[in-house]
Amino acid sequence: MPFHEGFVSELVGRSAIVERGGSRDVVGRVADFVVEHPEDTFPRIDAVIVKTRHGELAAPIADVASFDDGGIVLTKAPTVVRPPDDEALYLIEDLFDKQIVDVDGRKVVRINDIEIARTAGALRVVAADIGVGGLLRRLGIAKIMPRVVDRVPRSLIAWDNVAPLRDLSPTQIRLSVSEKRLSRLHPTELAEILGDLSAQDAARVVGSLDDERAADALEHLEPDVQRSIIDDLGTARAADIIEEMDSDDAADLLGELPEDRQNELLAEMDAQTADDLRELVAYADDTAGGLMTTDYFWIYPHRTVTATIAKIREIAPETEFIYYLYVLDQSEKLLGVLSLRTLLLAEPNATIHSIMDEEVVSVRPDVSAEDVASTIARYDLLACPVTDDRGTMLGIVTVDDAIDAIIPERLTRKLPRLTKRGQQRRAETVG
């Protein structure tokens, strides 16, 4: 009777029986299964490890005549010494209880069991069981109360989605859905997964993403975790990623690092970005200066509406916040502001000077976060410009950053953070 499908946990511990000319000898017990080419989509099981009185021995799968309730029936006694760990994947030793990233569920879970089935002429690994059913089966509860276990919804990850994270030692295999699919996730969701991984694994996942995706995900993580990921990435790569982050988030991150490390990273960035960040790092976190980003859209007053729209098209992909346009003179003094709406409704030939609002509400960089937030609320703004004593434009505080700053401890982040990191779930930039 050929074996069709089942779970590894149901086979482990069964007797290994050698059948020769009518006599059945129990030679040991099933201990594990060996896969020699784990990189295959549904890898084939190549051998069964049998625990005998002479130690653990491997029986090639060709020697397995059948699986039955009594155990595994072999055509001859296992004699091969088990292959070393670094050459083969052991289903129980290397996969059971290890972590796996469930990209669809956006969480990190553990492999409770492995489903195997006979397909395409061989016994293959088809899925990882990550559900309660697997837990109950392994604890032996499935045998006592089969009906209860049957009613537990099955929770499997098909093995063709599973790929090991790169450069991991085989003894610590943690598996993930392929990196391509990781990079299609929303940054918040990606950050959620990263938050559940160990810092080392999180750094490895971030390292596998492109700079922009990595920056997006990093922005959504806690400062402590950001710091340890950045430390692991190497200076050049870390600098590339920080450059892609929003300047306020990048400055916050740099502010967490020791000064010499800050300088190392800044030295790797382009001069303009580095200068901006240096200024931002100097401000205290809970002031307008600490909250502001230097990533805003500005324009000279003598430009026409048409020219400005053309400029926005050119620059907008790089700039997150384009709903307010700030009008500056040559010395970067803030002259006025206009909304994207005003711009779109104006005559194409009108100059910016003629349509801008000269009554600009702005704050000084040392104003407290609460005051910035109340200014933004009072004037119904999406962002508030930050200027120095001479009226020079320094940056803007967007409404979402202001909200975050006055609710620093989200209601979702409670006592004590312990094993799961509370993610900083920021509202997406307005729009």
Binding site for other proteins (CB under 8 A): 96-99, 107-110, 112, 130, 135, 138-139, 169, 171-172, 197-201, 222, 224-225, 227-229, 231-232, 282-285, 408-423, 425
- Render 362-405 in DSSP notation, one character per residue: -B-TTSBHHHHHHHHHHTT-SEEEEE-TT-BEEEEEEHHHHHHH
Nearer to other proteins, 155 or 339 (CB): 155
What is the rounded CA–CA span in Å between residue 225 and residue 30?
Answer: 42
What is the rounded CA–CA span in Å between residue 250 and residue 214?
Answer: 12
Q: Closest approach of Cβ 343 to other proteins, in Å? A: 38
Nearer to other proteins, 208 or 339 (CB): 208
Helix (H, G, I), strand (E, B) or coil at 73: strand
Nearer to other proteins, 45 or 229 (CB): 229
Nearer to other proteins, 99 or 247 (CB): 99
Nearer to other proteins, 9 or 294 (CB): 9
Nearer to other proteins, 155 or 273 (CB): 155
Q: Closest approach of Cβ 327 to other proteins, in Å? A: 30
Residue with tokens 């970005």: 273
Question: Phi and psi for 203 in degrees, rounded to 5?
Answer: -60, -40
Q: Closest approach of Cβ 418 to other proteins, in Å? A: 4
What is the rounded CA–CA span in Å between residue 244 and residue 343?
Answer: 28
Q: Count CB-CB contacts under 10 A for residue 330.
A: 6
What is the rounded CA–CA span in Å between residue 353 and residue 338?
Answer: 10
Nearer to other proteins, 284 or 328 (CB): 284
Q: Give 297: exposed, middle or buried? Use CB within 10 Å, 0-12, 13-18, 19+.
A: buried
Q: Closest approach of Cβ 124 to other proteins, in Å? A: 24
Question: Phi and psi for 129 in degrees, rounded to 5?
Answer: -90, 120
Report whether 173 contacts 98 (CB < 8 A).
yes
Nearer to other proteins, 232 or 268 (CB): 232
Q: How far is residue 225 from each of residues 102, 210, 262, 421, measured CA to CA in Å? A: 20, 19, 16, 9
Report whether 254 contacts 269 (CB < 8 A).
no
Q: Closest approach of Cβ 227 to other proteins, in Å? A: 6
Q: Closest approach of Cβ 232 to other proteins, in Å? A: 8
What is the rounded CA–CA span in Å between residue 38 and residue 207?
Answer: 23
Nearer to other proteins, 109 or 309 (CB): 109
Nearer to other proteins, 228 or 273 (CB): 228
Q: Closest approach of Cβ 357 to other proteins, in Å? A: 33
Which own/partner pairs from 310-315 qualify as long-range (CB within 8 Å, at least 24 positions apart)? 312/340
What is the rounded CA–CA span in Å between residue 322 and residue 309?
Answer: 11
Report whether 4 contacts 119 (CB < 8 A).
no
Q: Closest approach of Cβ 409 to other proteins, in Å? A: 3
